[in-house]
Structure 1
Amino acid sequence: MKNTKLRIAWIVPNVFCYLMLFGLSIWTVATGEGLLEINRLSLYVIIMLLLFLASVFGSYQIRTWIKEGKI
Protein backbone atom coordinates (compact mmCIF):
# COMPACT_ATOMS: atom_id res chain seq x y z
CA MET A 1 0.00 0.00 0.00
CA LYS A 2 1.50 3.23 -1.08
CA ASN A 3 -0.71 5.90 0.48
CA THR A 4 -3.70 4.70 2.49
CA LYS A 5 -5.09 8.17 3.20
CA LEU A 6 -5.13 9.05 -0.48
CA ARG A 7 -6.91 5.79 -1.31
CA ILE A 8 -9.54 6.49 1.30
CA ALA A 9 -9.95 10.05 0.04
CA TRP A 10 -10.86 8.68 -3.42
CA ILE A 11 -12.81 5.57 -2.41
CA VAL A 12 -15.17 7.20 0.13
CA PRO A 13 -16.75 9.65 -2.39
CA ASN A 14 -17.11 6.80 -4.88
CA VAL A 15 -18.98 4.74 -2.30
CA PHE A 16 -21.25 7.73 -1.63
CA CYS A 17 -21.98 7.93 -5.38
CA TYR A 18 -23.14 4.31 -5.29
CA LEU A 19 -25.27 5.04 -2.21
CA MET A 20 -26.83 8.06 -3.95
CA LEU A 21 -27.59 5.88 -6.97
CA PHE A 22 -29.18 3.24 -4.75
CA GLY A 23 -31.26 5.81 -2.86
CA LEU A 24 -32.35 7.62 -6.02
CA SER A 25 -33.32 4.33 -7.61
CA ILE A 26 -35.49 3.36 -4.64
CA TRP A 27 -37.10 6.81 -4.56
CA THR A 28 -37.75 6.79 -8.30
CA VAL A 29 -39.39 3.37 -8.16
CA ALA A 30 -41.49 4.41 -5.15
CA THR A 31 -42.71 7.62 -6.79
CA GLY A 32 -42.68 6.38 -10.39
CA GLU A 33 -46.39 6.80 -11.01
CA GLY A 34 -46.36 10.41 -9.83
CA LEU A 35 -43.28 11.19 -11.88
CA LEU A 36 -44.93 9.64 -14.90
CA GLU A 37 -48.00 11.83 -14.42
CA ILE A 38 -45.92 15.02 -14.44
CA ASN A 39 -43.65 13.74 -17.25
CA ARG A 40 -40.46 13.71 -15.16
CA LEU A 41 -39.77 9.98 -15.04
CA SER A 42 -37.49 10.08 -18.09
CA LEU A 43 -35.45 12.88 -16.50
CA TYR A 44 -34.82 10.84 -13.37
CA VAL A 45 -33.94 7.76 -15.40
CA ILE A 46 -31.38 9.78 -17.35
CA ILE A 47 -29.95 11.19 -14.11
CA MET A 48 -29.70 7.68 -12.67
CA LEU A 49 -27.94 6.47 -15.82
CA LEU A 50 -25.43 9.33 -15.66
CA LEU A 51 -24.81 8.71 -11.96
CA PHE A 52 -24.26 5.02 -12.68
CA LEU A 53 -21.77 5.79 -15.45
CA ALA A 54 -19.90 8.27 -13.23
CA SER A 55 -19.72 5.72 -10.42
CA VAL A 56 -18.45 2.94 -12.66
CA PHE A 57 -15.91 5.22 -14.32
CA GLY A 58 -14.72 6.38 -10.88
CA SER A 59 -14.31 2.78 -9.72
CA TYR A 60 -12.40 1.90 -12.87
CA GLN A 61 -10.14 4.93 -12.51
CA ILE A 62 -9.38 4.18 -8.86
CA ARG A 63 -8.60 0.57 -9.72
CA THR A 64 -6.29 1.70 -12.54
CA TRP A 65 -4.46 4.12 -10.22
CA ILE A 66 -3.99 1.40 -7.60
CA LYS A 67 -2.59 -1.03 -10.18
CA GLU A 68 -0.21 1.65 -11.49
CA GLY A 69 0.93 2.42 -7.94
CA LYS A 70 -0.19 6.04 -7.99
CA ILE A 71 -2.34 5.63 -4.88
Structure 2
Amino acid sequence: MSRKGNCYDNACIESFHSILKKELIYCTKFKTKHQAYEAIFRYIEFFYNRKRVHSSLGYVSPVQFAATFSETA
Protein backbone atom coordinates (compact mmCIF):
# COMPACT_ATOMS: atom_id res chain seq x y z
CA MET A 1 0.00 0.00 0.00
CA SER A 2 1.26 3.42 -0.77
CA ARG A 3 0.67 6.69 0.94
CA LYS A 4 -2.59 8.60 0.70
CA GLY A 5 -3.02 10.67 -2.43
CA ASN A 6 -0.56 8.76 -4.62
CA CYS A 7 -1.78 9.40 -8.16
CA TYR A 8 -0.41 6.10 -9.47
CA ASP A 9 -2.56 3.93 -7.16
CA ASN A 10 -5.55 4.03 -9.46
CA ALA A 11 -3.81 4.47 -12.81
CA CYS A 12 -4.91 1.07 -14.11
CA ILE A 13 -8.59 1.46 -13.25
CA GLU A 14 -8.64 5.09 -14.38
CA SER A 15 -7.27 3.97 -17.75
CA PHE A 16 -10.05 1.37 -17.98
CA HIS A 17 -12.70 3.95 -17.05
CA SER A 18 -11.36 6.27 -19.74
CA ILE A 19 -11.63 3.54 -22.39
CA LEU A 20 -15.10 2.53 -21.19
CA LYS A 21 -16.33 6.11 -21.39
CA LYS A 22 -14.83 6.76 -24.84
CA GLU A 23 -15.96 3.50 -26.43
CA LEU A 24 -19.40 3.06 -24.83
CA ILE A 25 -20.75 5.65 -22.41
CA TYR A 26 -20.31 8.82 -24.48
CA CYS A 27 -21.61 7.09 -27.64
CA THR A 28 -24.82 5.73 -26.12
CA LYS A 29 -27.93 7.26 -24.57
CA PHE A 30 -29.43 5.10 -21.86
CA LYS A 31 -33.08 5.38 -20.90
CA THR A 32 -32.80 3.49 -17.60
CA LYS A 33 -30.11 2.47 -15.13
CA HIS A 34 -30.86 -1.17 -15.93
CA GLN A 35 -30.23 -0.55 -19.63
CA ALA A 36 -26.90 1.10 -18.77
CA TYR A 37 -25.98 -1.78 -16.45
CA GLU A 38 -26.73 -4.36 -19.15
CA ALA A 39 -24.77 -2.47 -21.81
CA ILE A 40 -21.74 -2.04 -19.55
CA PHE A 41 -21.87 -5.71 -18.52
CA ARG A 42 -22.03 -6.83 -22.18
CA TYR A 43 -19.19 -4.46 -23.11
CA ILE A 44 -16.88 -5.78 -20.39
CA GLU A 45 -17.74 -9.48 -20.62
CA PHE A 46 -18.19 -9.94 -24.34
CA PHE A 47 -16.03 -7.26 -25.95
CA TYR A 48 -13.37 -5.92 -23.57
CA ASN A 49 -12.33 -9.30 -22.15
CA ARG A 50 -12.85 -11.51 -25.20
CA LYS A 51 -12.25 -9.48 -28.36
CA ARG A 52 -10.53 -6.16 -27.68
CA VAL A 53 -6.74 -6.41 -27.97
CA HIS A 54 -4.61 -4.97 -25.18
CA SER A 55 -1.18 -3.51 -25.87
CA SER A 56 0.11 -4.55 -22.44
CA LEU A 57 -0.65 -8.20 -23.32
CA GLY A 58 1.17 -8.19 -26.65
CA TYR A 59 -1.86 -7.11 -28.68
CA VAL A 60 -4.02 -10.12 -27.84
CA SER A 61 -7.27 -10.27 -25.88
CA PRO A 62 -7.20 -11.22 -22.19
CA VAL A 63 -8.92 -14.53 -22.97
CA GLN A 64 -6.30 -15.42 -25.61
CA PHE A 65 -3.51 -14.36 -23.25
CA ALA A 66 -4.86 -16.51 -20.42
CA ALA A 67 -5.21 -19.53 -22.75
CA THR A 68 -1.65 -19.11 -24.00
CA PHE A 69 -0.36 -18.64 -20.47
CA SER A 70 -2.05 -21.80 -19.15
CA GLU A 71 -0.78 -23.84 -22.12
CA THR A 72 2.83 -22.82 -21.44
CA ALA A 73 2.62 -23.26 -17.64
Give the TM interval when normalised to the shorter protein. Answer: 0.3 to 0.5
Higher radius of gyration, 1 or 2: 1
TM-score (norm 1): 0.38
TM-score (norm 2): 0.37
Q: Hey, which of these two has a bigger chunk of helix by percent?
A: 1
